[in-house]
């Protein structure tokens, strides 16, 4: 799940699946409830289905409205430029910025790279220290790691057991060489929302630039760069029902004016910060996605929170030894990350292979590694592996939530029947006191 998101368990459509423990899980042949079809998508932190309203807004820009937004001397260019400027305004409105502060990119991976590398380079005379946190997306962590090779010093703040950073840790980490703090708004695995306004206030008091990867928050919960003292913010279209391959970086223009060194050289587009002919259809889609999200956020957040709580309650009622990961008070509406203890993670996923969710495992080259985010919360490898991230989104229904939770409960009960560990726990044996025989 840790954003090697593409290593998903595939849906091969077979009725019976042999798990690697040799257990055959028979999928029920009962007809599907009305309104439910398979495969079923519940992985909306990885990507979202495009909203048809977004697609409709984009379509003309693939065909008749094909101009280059940088063509200043004819109507085709003006038409494209107008569409791009409209999108800038739609994005700015959603986050409390002004249109001039929006820079278009190819997505949040690029936005994060541009923000962190661009600030590191621009402010290197001032200092070489960057602060981030252990549970960031790889696009932030790996960018920081690269900067360490170039002589920058990076502090990776730990998180508490509920996934929140301790603001006192952040205060202590700051020194007179600190130029940048990069803390994500909301986590893509556990849905935890960091105290962004508090962090922003602290950074402004100390004169440190504050960047936030707000991919999972924008369009889902209120984001206001002014009220929250955010200086630089990354977002992407495909997590808010827009197209893949287009994103934006907000860069503050006053109080303070933030400068960023370009990381791509060329025609000087986007006020010199990001060269390259603009992806006009994608940009139109991003703008439309922002406008729709802004209009529907309140109702959608309420609906998804209710569905999420309903799902959590169903699991907790039907099963013992399940727990949620991450602080549930400071939490994204559509996120539920649960550990189903004493169940082997891979078998669990095999049992629900017609449902797209993410597990607490990430495929690295050949092996399954436990999620570094769950490990940062202090979860053991086994519990991390037995965790599932449900990502509810705009197109998920109550019927789907019922189907998924019933199915999962069924699979967990079956697997536990075969789990010696679970049996021992039920018999009151304290597993921590057992001395396992060495192999």
Ligand X SMILES: *Cc1c(COP(=O)(O)O)cnc(C)c1O
Q: Which residues are annotated as a binding site for [2Fe-2S] cluster?
A: 363
Cα dihedral sign for 94, 98, 103, 109?
negative
Residue 255 C-beta: closest distance to ligand X, Å: 26
Query: Residues within the annotated binding site for pyridoxal 5'-phosphate?
Result: 108-109, 188, 216, 236-238, 277
CB of 23 to ligand X, least distance (A): 33
| DSSP symbols for 81-136 | HHHHHHHHHHHHHHHT--GGGEEEESSHHHHHHHHHHHHHHHTTTT--EEEEETTS
CB of 220 to ligand X, least distance (A): 11
| Smallest distance, ligand X to C-beta of residue 189, A | 9
Between 109 and 178, CB nearer to ligand X: 109
| Six-digit token string for 75 | 């109507």
CB nearer to ligand X: pick between 213 and 270: 213
Instruction: Write down the least CB distance from residue 140 to ligand X, Å.
Output: 7
Q: Please state the closest distance from residue 107 (CB atom) to ligand X, in A.
A: 3
CB closest to ligand X, residue no: 107
Distance CA 132, CA 111 (A): 16
Q: Quick check: is 363 catalytic? A: yes
Q: Which residues are annotated as a binding site?
A: 108-109, 188, 216, 236-238, 277, 363
SS (H, E, C) 20-53: CCCCEEECCCCCCCCCCCCCEECECCCCCCCCHH
Which residues form the interface with ligand X (CB under 6 A)? 107-109, 137, 139, 184, 188, 213, 215-216, 236, 239, 247
Q: Is 125 exposed, middle or buried (0-12, 13-18, 19+ CB in 10 A)?
A: exposed
Contacts (Cβ under 8 Å, ≥6 apart) of 299: none
Helix-strand-coil split of the chain, %, nearest 5: 40, 15, 45
Per the CB < 8 A criterion, the answer to whether 70 and 77 are in contact is yes
CA distances, 238 to each of 160, 173, 199, 285, 288 (Å): 30, 34, 27, 9, 12
Closer CB to ligand X, 137 or 416, in the complex = 137
135-137-140-144 Cα dihedral, nearest 10 degrees: 50
Which of these, 341, 290, 319, lies nearest to 88 by C-alpha position? 290
The DSSP secondary structure of 125-189, one letter per residue, reads: TT--EEEEETTS-HHHHHHHHHHHHTT-EEEEE---TTSPPPHHHHHHH--TTEEEEE--SB-TT
Catalytic residue of the set 7, 144, 203, 363: 363
Residue 211 C-beta: closest distance to ligand X, Å: 12
* Least distance to ligand X, CB of residue 111, Å: 8
Of 109 and 419, which CB lies nearer to ligand X in the complex structure?
109
Q: Of 200 and 247, which CB lies nearer to ligand X in the complex structure?
A: 247
Q: How many whole angstroms from its chain centre is CA 30? A: 35
Q: Using the minimum distance from each CB to ligand X, give the nearer residue, 216 or 312.
A: 216
Cα torsion 47, 137, 246, 10 to 10°: value is: -30
Closest to ligand X by CB, 107 vs 326, is 107
- Length of the chain as a residue count: 439
335 three-class SS: strand
Judged by beta carbon, residue 215 or residue 225, the one nearer ligand X is: 215
What residues are annotated to the active site?
363
């Amino acid at each position: 799940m840790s954003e090697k998101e593409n290593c998903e368990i595939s849906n091969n459509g077979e009725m019976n699946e042999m798990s690697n423990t040799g257990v055959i899980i028979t999928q029920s042949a009962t007809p599907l409830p009305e309104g439910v079809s398979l495969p079923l998508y519940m992985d909306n932190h990885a990507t979202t289905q495009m909203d048809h309203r977004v697609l409709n807004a984009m379509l003309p820009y693939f065909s008749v409205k094909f101009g280059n937004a940088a063509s200043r001397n004819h109507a085709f260019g003006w038409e494209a430029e107008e569409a791009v400027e409209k999108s800038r305004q739609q994005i700015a409105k959603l986050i409390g910025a002004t249109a001039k502060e929006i820079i278009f990119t190819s997505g949040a991976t690029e936005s994060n790279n541009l923000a962190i590398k661009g600030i590191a380079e621009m402010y290197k005379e001032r200092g070489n220290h960057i602060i981030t946190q252990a549970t960031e997306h790889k696009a932030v962590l790996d960018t920081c790691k690269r900067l360490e090779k170039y002589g920058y010093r990076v502090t990776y703040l730990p998180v508490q057991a509920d996934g929140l950073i301790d603001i006192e840790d952040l205060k202590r980490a700051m020194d007179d060489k600190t130029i940048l703090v990069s803390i994500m708004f909301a986590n893509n695995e556990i849905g935890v929302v960091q105290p962004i306004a508090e962090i922003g206030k602290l950074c402004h008091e100390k004169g440190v630039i504050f960047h936030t990867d707000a991919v999972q928050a924008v369009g889902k919960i209120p984001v206001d760069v002014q009220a929250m003292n955010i200086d630089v913010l990354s977002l992407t279209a495909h997590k808010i029902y827009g197209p893949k391959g287009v994103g934006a970086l907000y860069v503050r223009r006053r109080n303070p004016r933030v400068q960023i060194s370009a990381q791509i050289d060329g025609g000087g587009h986007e006020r010199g910060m990001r060269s390259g002919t603009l992806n006009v259809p994608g940009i139109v889609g991003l703008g439309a996605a922002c406008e729709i999200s802004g209009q529907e956020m309140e109702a959608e957040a309420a609906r998804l929170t209710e569905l999420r709580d309903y799902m959590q309650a169903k699991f907790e009622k039907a099963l013992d030894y399940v727990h949620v990961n991450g602080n549930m008070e400071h939490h994204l509406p559509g996120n539920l990350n649960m550990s189903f203890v004493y169940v082997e993670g891979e078998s669990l996923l095999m049992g629900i292979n017609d449902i797209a969710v993410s597990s607490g495992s990430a495929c690295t080259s050949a092996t399954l590694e436990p999620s570094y985010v769950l490990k940062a919360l202090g979860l053991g490898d086994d519990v991390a592996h037995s965790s599932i991230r449900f990502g509810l989104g705009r197109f998920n229904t109550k019927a789907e939530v019922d189907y998924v939770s019933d199915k999962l409960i069924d699979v967990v009960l079956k697997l536990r029947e075969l789990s010696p560990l679970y049996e021992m726990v039920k018999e009151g044996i304290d597993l921590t006191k057992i001395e396992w025989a060495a192999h």
